[in-house]
Amino acid sequence: MTTVGEAGWQVLTAHGIDTVFGNPGSNELPFLAAMPDGVRYVLGLHEGAVLGMADGYALATGGPALVNLHAASGSGNAMGALTNAVYSHSPLVLTAGQQVRSTVGQEVMLTNVDAAALPRPLVKYAAEPASAQDVPRALSQAVHTALLDPRGPVYLSVPYDDWSREAGPDTAHLPSRRATAAAELGEAALSELAGALAGAANPVLVLGPQVDADRANDHAVALAERLACPVWIAPSASRCPFPTRHPAFRGILPASVRDVSDRLAGHDVVLVAGAPVFRYHQWVPGDLLPAGTRLLHLTADPAEAARAPMGEAWVGPVGPALAALAGRVPASGREPLPPRSGPPAPRGAEDHVPPQQLFALVRDAAPAGTVHVCESTSTIDDFVAQADLTEPGSYLFPASGGLGFGLPAAVGAQLAHGEARRVVALVGDGSANYGITALWTAAQYRVPVVFVILKNGTYGALRGFAGLLGTGETPGLDVPGLDFVKISEGYGVPAVSVSDAASTAAALKDAFAADGPRLVEVVTAPGVA
């Protein structure tokens, strides 16, 4: 007899799933008992960290990541991290244990009441199959839904007595099922886009995370060089789709209506590829576009195309479209953009390491191809000013700004990259607390992440917003007295605290040379104990 558990796992492993990120309760034990040899279980101590690790893993591999959570309480703890995964289009397959099928209506202890409603709208698909025999097919639907554009997280709640039931005879069809979407935009769309770009007097590219997720960075470079045009990263960047030292690179667009329009002024054609139009953040009203500017929007997500407040949108795979356009658009005849000067020389200080100096030290200490998982919300522009990112997948940031992403996602990304690429987490002393338990997983599984905590003793980004909003000194802006060395060592990760450039450089050198995780707490503001 084939059980539902055996059939379900056959579906999951047929899609290349070999790792489960989880935190179990009694409802999950029968699913885990059916887990076949060769599948690795990675335990996180809090479901927010579990989800963040799975997100980092999926963003790094591009493939699906399997998550197993405990009923409603576990799923609820993961929801904050889901706000990022849904906007980063992470193909996460969340499974949650449900109480015994016949007792759910009574709402016995550990019942996940109305389970399919719980994670919405943060998932593409959520269900609790109507019978045990439908569980393998529902798992197949979940995986295909997560992987089909626009990719995204899905959620399946399964009563724990289902797994031992006999699977139906039709489950044998499921492991070999494939679902393939259209490979690229149609001829008419590509011709219209190529014509508009070729006819532009002063085009500009605005690139989003989907370009990096599609590993299409080189195609974006080829198109920018054909057009001899500047390139911006779309506001609220969660990935880096373009080399940061390239002559065309201009930085991340500021995340307000007025500032975006100011940066696009003078350009007659704007191609936005692989990003929503736009992920504004600060409310600074202005014209959505400068007068006379035509915005062309290329996205894999119909919802992004439909909800944009301006421009003309085309829906299709972003990477292949950029490759096709780079091959179609003729050389513009404009002078190539001149090489940019190197990063600014960062200022130093006696009793702390200012952020740009720290980022320069990290750049100089990190091996080629290092992945930077960032979550220090007041220092993003400082990082970009100093960074030298060239390869796809080199930068990850929480796609909805939901904090608690940085430390866990760094662990997940390092698990994905293995020895091929090192991962450094650059996380603020505020953000670190939301996903702090990931340090335990890094220690237990010897995941060699370099964790750098930027200690300024405050919620720096909120202080910035207080200035913008004129709210003055509100409560809840400072986070004094945190000792990340003691916290880190309490979770099993060796740590050191530094407050000058020389000690920081030495600590980073040691950390990147270590064969296990290391944490470096860096004092980045004056007067911080």
Show which residues are catalytic. 25-26, 28, 47, 70, 281, 401
- The site partner of 437 among Ca ion, ligand TZD, none (C-beta below 5 to 8 Å per kind) is none
Q: In sequence order, what DSSP letters do the residues of 116-127 get, joined into one string? A: GGTTTTSSSEEE
Verify binding: residue 408, Ca ion, rule CB under 5 A. no
To ligand TZD, the closest distance from the beta carbon of 376 in angstroms equals 4
Return the number of the residue (166 or 351) whose C-beta is nearest Ca ion.
351
To ligand TZD, the closest distance from the beta carbon of 104 in angstroms equals 30
To ligand TZD, the closest distance from the beta carbon of 191 in angstroms equals 43
To ligand TZD, the closest distance from the beta carbon of 367 in angstroms equals 25
**Contact predicate 347/356, CB 8 Å:** yes
Q: Which two tokens stand for residue 395?
A: 């930068």
Q: Which two tokens stand for residue 223?
A: 């198109």
Q: Phi and psi for 360 in degrees, rounded to 5?
A: -70, -40
**Contact predicate 413/396, CB 8 Å:** yes
What's the maximum distance between 2 C-alpha atoms anywhere in the chain?
Answer: 73
**Contact predicate 86/123, CB 8 Å:** yes
To Ca ion, the closest distance from the beta carbon of 460 in angstroms equals 5
Question: Cis omega before residue 344 (within 30°)?
Answer: no
Return the number of the residue (81 or 143) whose C-beta is nearest ligand TZD.
81
Return the number of the residue (319 or 428) whose C-beta is nearest ligand TZD.
428
Calpha distance 82→96 (Å, rounded)? 14
Angle made by CA atoms 90, 94, 95, in degrees to the nearest 5: 165
The count of residues interacting with Ca ion (CB under 5 A) is 5
Encoded one letter per residue, x for contact with ligand TZD by CB under 6 A and - for no contact, window 461-480 reads xx------------------
Choose which of 44, 208, 460, 517 interacts with ligand TZD (CB under 6 A).
Answer: 460
Q: Which two tokens stand for residue 299?
A: 């996205």
Beta strands 312-315 and 294-299, pairing class: parallel
> Which 452-511 residues touch Ca ion, going by CB under 5 A?
456, 460
Which secondary-structure segment (H or E) carries 418? none
- The site partner of 125 among ligand TZD, Ca ion, none (C-beta below 5 to 8 Å per kind) is none
The count of residues interacting with ligand TZD (CB under 6 A) is 20
> Which 375-414 residues touch ligand TZD, going by CB under 6 A?
376-379, 401-404
78's CB contacts (< 8 A; 6+ apart) are 47, 48, 50, 51, 67, 69, 94
> Which 41-100 residues touch ligand TZD, going by CB under 6 A?
80
Return the number of the residue (91 or 406) whose C-beta is nearest Ca ion.
406
Encoded one letter per residue, x for contact with ligand TZD by CB under 6 A and - for no contact, window 427-456 reads -xxxx--x---------------------x
Nearest to 409 by CA among 30, 28, 49, 27: 49
- The site partner of 379 among ligand TZD, Ca ion, none (C-beta below 5 to 8 Å per kind) is ligand TZD
Choose which of 55, 304, 429, 521 interacts with Ca ion (CB under 5 A).
Answer: 429
User: Nearest residue to ligand TZD, using CB?
Assistant: 428
Question: Cis omega before residue 150 (within 30°)?
Answer: yes
Q: Which two tokens stand for residue 315?
A: 């829906």
CB atoms within 10 A of CB 164: 14
Return the number of the residue (249 or 484) whose C-beta is nearest Ca ion.
484
Nearest to 512 by CA among 387, 392, 408, 425: 425
Verify binding: residue 209, Ca ion, rule CB under 5 A. no
Question: Where does this chain bind ligand TZD (CB under 6 A)?
Answer: 80, 376-379, 401-404, 428-431, 434, 456, 458-462
Question: Where does this chain bind Ca ion (CB under 5 A)?
Answer: 428-430, 456, 460
